[in-house]
Amino acid sequence: MSEQRLLILDDDELTGKTISNIAEFAGMKTCICQTSVDFFQKLEHWQPSHIAVDLIMPDMDGVEVLVELANRKTSAGVIITSGVGHRILEAAARSASEHGLNILGTLPKPFNPRRFRELVNIDFKAAFRNTRSADLQPRAVRSVNEDDLRTAIHQGNISVVYQPKIECHGGKLTGFEALARWEHPEKGLIPPDLFIGMAEAQGLIDSLTILVFEQALPWFNQFLQQIAGYHNLPTSNDLHLSVNISARSLLNAELFEHIHELCSNNGLDSHQIMLELTETGAMDDPVASLDMLTRLRMRGFHLSIDDFGTGFSSMVQLVRMPFSEVKIDKSFVMTAHTSRESRLVIKAIIELAHSLGLQATAEGIEDMQTLQFLQELNCDHAQGYMLGRPAQGDTFIDWLQQRHQEIEKQRLQALKGSKLLDTPAEERFDRITRLAKRLFKVPITLISLVDENRQWFKSKTGLTVCETSREVAFCSYAIEQDGLFLVEDASRDSRFADNPLVTGPPFIRFYAGYPVAAPTGEKLGTLCLIDHVNRKFTQREADTLQELATMVEEEIATNQLLSEDHLTGLLNRRGFEGRAGHVLQLCQRQQMVTSLVYIDLDNFKQINDRQGHQAGDDALIQFARTLSMTFRDSDLIARIGGDEFVVMLINQDAADIPAIMQRLQSTVQAYNDKVNPELHLSYSYGLASAETDSEYSLQQLYAVADEAMYRNKRQSSTDKPH
């Protein structure tokens, strides 16, 4: 039916007319009913595409009306209206949805015309198809019994399909969930909820579980072998296979021994398998569950608590048991765009999971709006019909190639949106590449952005060219990784041995690249190290490179205008403290000394008052230049107040600091010798260093250096720097 018709049930004539006017303005035909009797008569004959129901009615309340609509198998999109509280409206909507109605949303009174237009424009039929899993809908009477199920298991008539799981940020494939399907030759497709519950009740669940593993493991191993030759597809270490486990099976140690043996026989390690346990089942026998789940984790299996948030002791079980993943129940995910309560629950579950060191996976994602919401909450993994429907295993090579093309398209859009390509060099990025060059002692460091046909260098040290073809770029491989991409000797690596960047300038032998991503997760390029000789790379070095890549990502996400002192060009307090926090974390984890020099320009006020504001500004600019000339270009230098400056020295030998400060004094003195005595610069400084864990606090360094500065100031004369 192309014509949109709205049937309104509201006992208040003025309210009904208001909704009618809004709807007619949106191009709909309307009909207003003030009693439930008239409403149901009109429903039968008028066949509306949309229905608006007020919850508070004198003869038959709105909940009763909604139940009756469900009983009549009404397919129209339903909008629930009322002046009752928000939580009551949401509860009514959830109840109606559980009854099978197509709930478009709620419309609180007083009405918002824009909200109404948004609701009636929803493609509710498509949404309903998505949320109802069309492949699980009835096609025949399902009067199956225990004997039918036992025969199906014995004859292997229950098959397995697979649904992909992806990263919330970036969209990369992370694994599959194996799902059992029973296609009865006479009675059609039997819903999993029906036959799995029957298997548990009749003691057949362990046999069914083994049947799933016997089909899923060989397929997964074959799939991993098929994708092994593609550098732009995930590696076997990146992917896992999730299989559901009934809590009733936790007492059967022989079952899990059999599963472990099946993994070995199919060339799979246990760490590649995720066992999903429904939380309500996990609570049936907490002691037995804890024993078995602990043993499974010791064997290397990952454990997921499925449908989290629907039980009564969820948090207790989550804390007590050794889960590695929390799976957010789809009843919350699928109502996230319409229910504030669902959004709050999802947010709380993700934060709880991360605080316990667990991954969070959301299932039931059917639209981009929900995915973007989950990305904002830093959810780890996503699963749903929008991302990939359950399908036969032989379809996923093509699906994966198509998925990679979609991700690349999104990545290029994000790169273009970053507005970094083909822009001038920026100190905020150059500071990081210079620091990387100093820390790793390599001749070349780059921040490389990978475009469609080239890699372009936003920042570079030790290299004269600004870009190369993507076809020969090591970074093109690196952006396909979630972590470090390492080539210790390119001349012996079959992927790169004949690469022109290896056989010719810059004669790459060693390459280490870490991907850098946009705030939304798309990998834009890399921070990479290049050497002309082969070399080893330690875990500590890998961690340091990751920290520096995180600093690049922070710069990409930061509004530089808010971080810069516009007079001197140095960092301002906000810009300094944000970056200093990362530097302190880096130095603390890598056991590198960090020093803070706190400097006060003693006579700035005197110059400003006597010679004017322009002279004062010139003094600040000159002193900023002097600091930049004196300290290393990889150190953090900032003006944090009117006449206050700070310098953070990274991994600087304490024995060299007096010589550096003497160089500063000499440079200032050389400037003073050339200018009017009224414009002489005079400063005091204090020094603080962090060498033990308790000292890596910016506020503590501030306090110690500030105290030392004022102590020096009191001991010094006003015309001599100290």
List, by residue number, the catalytic residues.
643
652 alpha carbon, distance to own chain's centre: 35
Q: Are 97 and 330 within 8 A, CB to CB?
A: no
**CB atoms near residue 139 (< 10 Å):** 11
Burial annotation 461-490 (CB, 10 A radius, 16+ → b, else e): beeeeebbeeeebbbbbbbbbbebbbbebb
- CA geometry: angle 513, 517, 523, nearest 5 deg: 75
- Give the DSSP letter of residue 247: G
CA triple 335-340-345, angle to 5 deg: 80
DSSP-based three-state secondary structure for 328:
strand
Q: Tell me which DSSP letter residue 537 carries.
A: -
User: What single-letter amino acid sits at 510?
Assistant: F
Kindly give, in sequence order, each residue whose CB lies less than 8 Å from that of residue 590, ignoring residues fewer than 6 positions away: 540, 543, 544, 547
Structure tokens at 517: 């991503």
Task: Tell me how far apart the alpha carbons of residues 174 and 554 are, in angstroms, rounded to a whole number.
Answer: 25
Instruction: Find the angle CA(404)-CA(407)-CA(410) to the nearest 5 degrees.
Output: 155
Cβ burial, residue 407 (10 Å; 0-12/13-18/19+): buried
Length of the chain: 722
How far is Cα 103 from Cα 597, in angstroms, rounded to an integer? 63
What is the Cα–Cα distance from 329 to 365, expressed in whole angstroms?
A: 11
How many angstroms separate the CA atoms of 117 and 526, rounded? 44
Sole residue written with tokens 């995930």: 234
Cβ-based neighbour number of residue 653 at 10 Å: 9
Compute φ and ψ for 10, nearest 5 degrees: -155, 130
* Side-chain half-sphere exposure of 516, counting CA atoms within 13 A: 28
Q: How far apart are CA 297 and CA 322, in angstroms?
A: 7
Q: Which run of H or E residues covers position 525?
A: strand 523-531
Residues 6+ apart with CB under 8 A from 628: 570, 637
Closest to 383 measured CA to CA, from 220, 221, 242: 242
